[in-house]
Structure 1
Amino acid sequence: MVKKIAQGIFGLGGVILGYVIGDFLINIPAVKELGLLSEYYRTVLFMIFICLIFGIILYLVSPKIYKAITEVIEYVEKNIQKLSIGEIVYGAVGALIALIITSILAKPLLDFHEILGPLIVVLLNVIAAIIGMDIMIKKKDDITNILVNIKKNGSTKDKKGKSISRSIPKVLDTSVIIDGRIFDICETGFVEGPLVIPNFVLDELRHISDSSDSLKRVRGRRGLDVLNRIQKELNIETQIWEGDFPKIAEVDSKLVKLAQHLNGKVVTNDYNLNKVAEVQGVSVLNINELSNAIKPVVIPGEEMVVDVVKDGKEASQGVAFLDDGTMIVVENGKRFIGERIDVLVTSVLQTAAGRMIFAKPKEN
């Protein structure tokens, strides 16, 4: 039914277009000099002929036009669903600016023809709106950074009383959030903001916290708790970066790309990400490297209470984990799998790849 109505509308549009073109042709001086349409009935017949021709043509091609319009609408709907609220707002602003500029520049075209002039202006406005929207969406992050930099006049305080400065942005990765030590480091004032938390890192944390694996689930929830504390308890600027890099699949690659985009640094304790970032010229703040330069969290001879969850590489070894994911290798701990036991730390191995604690069961 809708298709038939559309055909009728296109046919009527063809008749109107034929009338406009016919009227244009009749008023051409060269056609007037020929005298072929000098008599009234000839003019009427010519106009009827032109209107019918264009009406029939548009009526016949209307199914293809209707199909093309339907495909365009579906394409637009799919792409709009992929856009965030921020991108839609930026796109609307870009389209509005483009429409204002085009309306001013294309005003002389309105005098070109009574009907064709406005049609051309409308077409130019549509094209300009699409271009303006596309440019604003692609450059939204740059525009946001410019607006933020304009807003910042030295170090000020936001509504929550958090300090805002012009320091280099620090992009947090998933591992360093789960680790939790970044909170203590920021609390001491050794790291300045802004701390940038990408939306795709938040998605990864939510995915980990919903995992069927109990260990992963605990780590994911710990990461979300750490983020919550960073935002509420620290007197430091934090930003949630809502953009994404759809063409990049891996989170690590996205982090490096974001750090390049913001001219910032990546904060991590992931050894592989550390190396990838260094290769691409991105500065890295590695929490494990910082830990190497200060006193270890645990020292040999210290007592700990751990849950042995699985066996180790060696036949008699058991493995436990701290809340931050640090592995504890318990010598002769295989027989205690599934139990909570007291252990004595024998040594601590700290490298850029992470920390590993070796321990043995405490003798009762």
Structure 2
Amino acid sequence: MLDAIIIISFIIAGAGIGFYGVDLLPPNILVQVTNIEGLRSVLGAFGTLIGFVFGLIGQTTYRRLEKQVRDMPVEVLLTRAIGLIVGLLVANLMLAPLFLLPIPREFGFIKPLVAVLGSVIFGFTGVNLADTHGRGFLRLINPNSLDTVLVAEGTFKPAPTKVLDTSCIIDGRIENLLETGFLEGQILVPQFVLQELQLIADAANDQKRARGRRGLDILNSMKETYPDRIQIHSADYEDLATVDAKLVRFAQDINGTLLTNDYNLSKVATVQKVVVLNINDLTQALRPSYLPGDTIEIKIRKEGKEPSQGIGYLEDGTMVVVEAGSSHVGGEVRVVVTSALQTSAGRMIFARTQESVTA
């Protein structure tokens, strides 16, 4: 819509200049014109064409400028705006005496010309000075914040706000993740997530009720430990029925990151261009990798499907299928990894007892 307005404005301006510009032509030229209305039409059409071309150029320039402003850190935008305002004020103060000077009528165009040029020059100088001394300006405002200075320089961007979903709170690992210090930024819990937790805690089913109460306990514990980082947000969306849809909309509105361990919610949010941190993916990535030839000390818990197989588990729950391990059920044995398989249900490691390998 805005693109159309820009182009139409240039077209109207070009057509108007061409149509009414005939009156500005010298009289000796107008005397030689036999059809002034026809000349107006020709110049109006020519002005319309020129206006359309300049409209396209103006629309493209505006979009580029808009993208630069959107991508610009807010601190840089603030310092440049202040620099521009200061530059224009200085220009007006310095050029004020010019308007008091007596200038002949035929040179009357000099005053507005100098005023425009002076405003452009001083405004541009103010912006350049803001870029150069923005660090010092921000340090005067907040001398103890190096982060503010680095953000203003564009060295790094501030940590995005994290939005917690219900499953992530009930899971409980988020509290341990906060304790490690790897999770940065503000953490918001929308009001509708808190309401869902309350509904689960009041459920008739004992298992659901226990999960809901566990989630509320974990949330209260995190708020007590990190009162400045964990905040309850009152946002709600009456037009959306499900909590998942509200979470995605909320993350989009605040340009935040969705923190969850719900696989389906992660996929839906990713499709809608919402950044997602899935705790299950993090856990998967931090699991130790075992290559063929590595040795593991493991306890054989039970027999496998095949008569000679034994089944054991690593500390993270990964199942290890041990060939020739059925005779070691209930005991510790050192095994040699032969291969690993990643399935939708998780990872599975295949190994053989070290005795059978050496034999």
Q: Does TM-score exceed 0.5, indicating one fold?
A: no
TM-score, normalising length: structure 1: 0.38
